[in-house]
Structure formats: structure tokens, C-alpha cells
Chains A and B, each alone.
Chain A
Amino acid sequence: MEMEKARTVVDGLKEAGVNFAAGLPDSQFHEVYDLIASDPSFTYVGVGNEGEGAAVAMGAWFGGKKPALIIATSGLLVATFSLARLHLKEVPLLIIIPYRGDLGDPRWMGIYKKYTEPMLDVMDIPYRVVSQPDEIRKAIIDCQSCTETWLKPVAVLLTGEALW
């Protein structure tokens, strides 16, 4: 992805007050992970699977941090059990997903388009699909505000159109 767009994502997280990130890298989002891991504004924890990441983020929230879970589209399916437990406990968490599977990204449409949004709906995780670069920052800030207030996970899906 373009470095300028990666910076937009990271700046949005900072402006939203996010200061802790757990993640498992998505190759298309590599620059974002790089920026976060090297930025002292964040504590970054690279995890072995996305369910572990959601749990690490939950612990950080109980320690007063504002965490984000940054995962690939496929990682949402892996994280579902942990996210369901966060939901049950009513713990907030911002989830950032570079969204493979949107219209215009036919290579991945089969599995991801089929499951991602229905899964978020079933799990009662509100989400915003961002398709334009100039919507990224506001979507992140708005979703962080909502997750804190609603005490439930909220997701931002950044499509290829917005990122690449």
C-alpha cells in the first residue's frame, strides 16, 4: 500500500486516542504494522493468532489503554470466539481490517465477501466499510468513540479502493 495511506490510518488511530495495538500482519497492510511497531505512541504486540490478539487487547483495556486489534480479513474468523467473549463481558475494542472481498477485489471475494459482513452482523459488531481514502481518518475516530461508549467491539473495514 502507499505509505501516505498507511500514515493516514496511523494518524487516525492516534487522533482517536488509540495507544495499544495487537495484531497479526496482513501482507497488504504491512506498512501500517511497521509504522505502529516503530512508533512510541503505541505499545504493539504481535501475536500468534487473532483470538490471542483480541485477548491481549482486552487485558490492555482493563489496564487503562485504548487498544485496537489490527487483523487480516481472514483473521476475523479466527478471532470470533474471543470477540464473542469480549461482547459478553461488554468490553470495547476497535477492530481494523484491510478488507479483502469487497466488490472490485474478485480474487478474494469467494470466501471473504461471503463471511465477513454477515459474521459481523451475527456477532452484533457494528462496522463501517470505508471505500475512499479521505474517509479513513473520520471512520477510525468515529468507530473508536462508539466502541468506548457502547462497550462493544466496533470494526472498520478498509477496502482496496481506499487503500491500494
Chain B
Amino acid sequence: MVKRYDLLKTLASVVTDEMLVVTPIGNTSVFWDELGKGATSLTGVSLGMCTPVALGLSLALPNRKVIAVDSDGNLILNLCSLGTVGNKQPRNLTIIVCDNGNYLSGGPGKGKQGMPTATAGNMNLEAVAKGCGITKATTIQTEAEFKQAVEKSLAGEGPSFIVAKIEPVDVKESKVYREERTPGLDTRENKYAFARHVERLEKIRIIKRGSA
């Protein structure tokens, strides 16, 4: 089992600013921001929306690598999005699921885990993805396996799906992370930062001049 922060640190070492990353609410976005990736990623994408937002982005920009760093509870809320990904087969999309087996965001904090998600029971997300037609699906248990799976996915054609089994509670440097959370980017601030980043990369205009 991997720590969420260590997993994201590994991912940050592989992902370039030419790639577009979408992260959900909770510690994944907080850590990703801390790792210096917040302003070039779309963060805090809420319940059930992370994978479908990444899908829309990947279809709009088929020549650019797009990575969703989803989580088990978040993905299960909109599980049908895997069927949509399986049918659209975006070659540039990688979906990573930080699977801690519990609803940590709704948990009691202070090092205690929340109520279990379905993956703590019988649900196998890799099998679900494969059943949806995402044939390049795998489950990893260690950092080394994770790095190898991500590098393979980014070097090849997707869609690919990586379930990363992470520790149930986020502990960083022996401390429970929820108690030390930093503010990070405001959601609209992040929107502008990310949209401007895509505009620069793609040499396009996303936000209409003179809007709002």
C-alpha cells in the first residue's frame, strides 16, 4: 500500500507541464497543489466529476495527454463515466484512482478513517474498468509498480486505468495531514490559472474577451 502523498510525488516527477491533470476535492488536490502543480492543473473537481471532466478535456484536445487523478468514493458516485470512457476510447486519457477504501473526506479526521467505500468490500474497480471496455487496466500496490504503470500509460495509447491502493488515512511525515491543511487556490482562481495555461499551450482562447 502506498501513501497518497508519496504516490502524487512520484506522479509529479513524471508529469510535465505539457500534460493536463484533473484532481478531485480532498487531499489529492491539496497535495498536488503543494507539489507545485496546482496552477497548471484543474483541481478541486467535485463529487463524481473528475473522470468525466478529464474525458471532456481529452476529447476536446485529442493530441494532448490528459490525466485524471480520481478517488474511489468520487468515481463510484458517477461510475457510469467508465462506460462512457470505454465507448469513446480516448487514446490520450489516463485515469488514476487513489483507492483508500473509505470516505476519508467524510471521516472523523484525527487519523481515523471514514465509512468504507464499496472497494473495501467486493468491488474491484480494475474489473469494472475492463468490463467497460478499458482494456488497459491494472491495480498497483507499491510506488515502483505505480511509476512503471504511469510511465507505460503515458508512453503508449489509452485509455488506461490505474487503481492505486493507498493507505486508508493520509499521514505525511508521521502527522495526520487533515490537521495541517493549507488554503491552496480558490476554485475560481484555479479556473483562470488552468484556462490560461491551456490557452498558452494550445494557442487558443477559452475565456471570451470581456466576459463576466
Contacts and interface: CB of A to CB of B under 8 A. Distances in A.
Partners in one complex: yes
Interface of A: 20, 22, 43, 45-49, 51-65, 67, 81-82, 85, 88-92, 148-151
Interface residues of B, number: 40
B54 A149 contact: no
Contact of B56 (A45, A51, A90): A45
Contact of A58 (B49, B205, B207): B49
Interface string B90-132: 0000000000000000000000000000000000000000000
Contacts of A59: 22, 52-60
Nearest to B204: A64
Contacts of A58: 49, 53, 56
Contacts of B52: 47, 52-53, 55-56, 59
Nearest to B203: A64
Q: Chain A: interface secondary structure? A: helix
Contacts of B187: 88-89
21 contacts: A20-B60, A48-B80, A49-B78, A52-B78, A55-B48, A55-B49, A56-B56, A59-B58, A60-B60, A62-B42, A62-B57, A62-B60, A63-B56, A63-B61, A64-B61, A88-B187, A89-B188, A89-B191, A90-B212, A92-B211, A150-B212
Contacts of A48: 78, 80-81, 83-84
B46 A47 contact: no
Interface string B166-205: 0000000000000000000001100100110011001011
Contact of B81 (A52, A60, A67, A85): A52
B198 A55 contact: no
B208 A148 contact: yes
Interface in B18-60: 22, 42, 45-49, 52-60
Contact of A63 (B60, B80, B191, B208): B60
A90 B208 CA distance: 13
A88 B9 CA distance: 29
A36 B199 CA distance: 27
A65 B60 CA distance: 6
A47 B49 CA distance: 12
B211 A57 contact: no
B55 A49 contact: no
B157 to A, nearest CB: 19
Contacts of B87: 46
